Every structure is written in C-alpha cells, then in structure tokens.
Amino acid sequence: MSKGQPARTQGQRSAETQGKLLDATIDCLVELGYAGASTTAICERAGVSRGAQLHHYPTKAELVAAAIERLFERRHQEFRESLGEHPDAAKSMERLWGIYTGKTFYAWAELLVASRTEPDLRKRLREVDDAFFEQAKQTCRKLLGGRKVSDERAAAIARLTLSVLDGLALNFTLGGREEITRGVLAELGRVMAGG
C-alpha cells in the first residue's frame, strides 16, 4: 500500500472476497457444471480460503444462489438502463435476449437441473427467481408504455416473455437456428407493443 492511501475497511475486504467468490462460482458452473463446481474448485479459482467461503456462504446452495442473483441483477440493470426513457418494445426484445445468451443462461440452466434433486438449492433458486420476476414485471410495465394493464395481465405478459425466452435459450443450446430465434423475438416484441 502506498503512502497516503487509506487502509481498506473490513467491509471493503469482505465485499471484495464475496465478489471473487461469486464470479468464480459462475465461471465454475459454466465450465464444470453444477456437480464439478465444488466449493473447493470455486475457492481455488477465486483465490480465497475455504474458511472465508464458509464465513460468507455456509452452504454451496447459498453460494450458487447468491452468484446467480448477483449476475441476474447486474444483467437486468444493464437491460433497464439500455431501454432509455421511451423504450421500443420490439427492439427491446433483442436486448433482453442478451440476458439469455452466454454464461448467465448456462449457469442458471445448470442450477435448475441440479435443483430437481436438491431441495435446499431449489428453495434458494425459487427465492432468486421470485425476486427476478418482480423486477421483470416492473420492466414489462415500462415496455408496455402508458397502456393501462391490470397487475394480473402485466404478470402474465412478463411470465409469457420469460417463458418464451427460456425456451428459445434451451433450443439455441441445441443448435437452434438464428432466423427462427429472431422471428420469435420480433413476434414477442409485437405482442409487447400491442400489435
């Protein structure tokens, strides 16, 4: 540490450790799958002791759920910021598709499959999914613009959108064709735009 530079606080060190663990968790899930993403492998990749991991995240389920939550929040925030003041629903579907491609989706898919037989993980993922869905409903309302839509209908449109994107992403991992994906996204944008 150079002279004149203040020492980092315990909170800053703790946040840095957590950030390393969460980033390493996502990378391990994508590269190794859930079974291969052991807490030992995650700690090694993060350069963090096992004791530090246990202090912040006592179970693997808590660690992976926190990592996915952080990743979803970051990606959703980027998406909301990209919308601007007057979002174009059709173009927004292309941007939203970005959340469903790459490591965000692959890590989530790994956890969904693993949660089928791991009740603790399933419970934590349900909490993450519920929080993400609340954000998705708010974003859906923004995409619907000034149209008056009941809370139930906004929730249904948000769930429809997320379900279609989930399905597209799964199909895409199996070699889905780009033109089909783009066509579905365009249609979904028209639905959101009210056309």
pLDDT > 80? residue 147:
no
pLDDT value, residue 77: 75
Query: Would the pLDDT of 20 be above 90?
Result: yes
Look at 65 and 88; give whichever has higher pLDDT: 65
Token pair for residue 46? 């993060």
Q: What is the mean pLDDT of the chain?
A: 84
Domain ranges of the chain: 10-192
The pLDDT of residue 1 is above 70: no
Q: What is the CATH number of domain 10-192?
A: 1.10.357.10
Between 12 and 142, where is the model more confident? 12
pTM above 0.85, yes or no: no
Q: What is the pLDDT of residue 2?
A: 53
Two structure tokens written together for 93: 């579907």
Q: What is the pLDDT of residues 113-126, one digit of tens each?
A: 888 998 988 888 88
Q: What is the pLDDT of residue 181?
A: 86
pLDDT at 38: 94
Distances from the Cα of 41 to the Cα of 23, 29, 114, 122, 163, angstroms: 12, 10, 17, 22, 32
Q: Which residues contact 157 (CB under 8 A, 6 or more apart)?
A: 140, 144, 149, 191, 192
Mean of pLDDT values over 97-108: 77
111 pLDDT tier (thresholds 50, 70, 90): confident
What 8-state DSSP symbol labels residue 174? T
When pLDDT is averaged across residues 158-185 and rounded to a whole number, the result is: 85
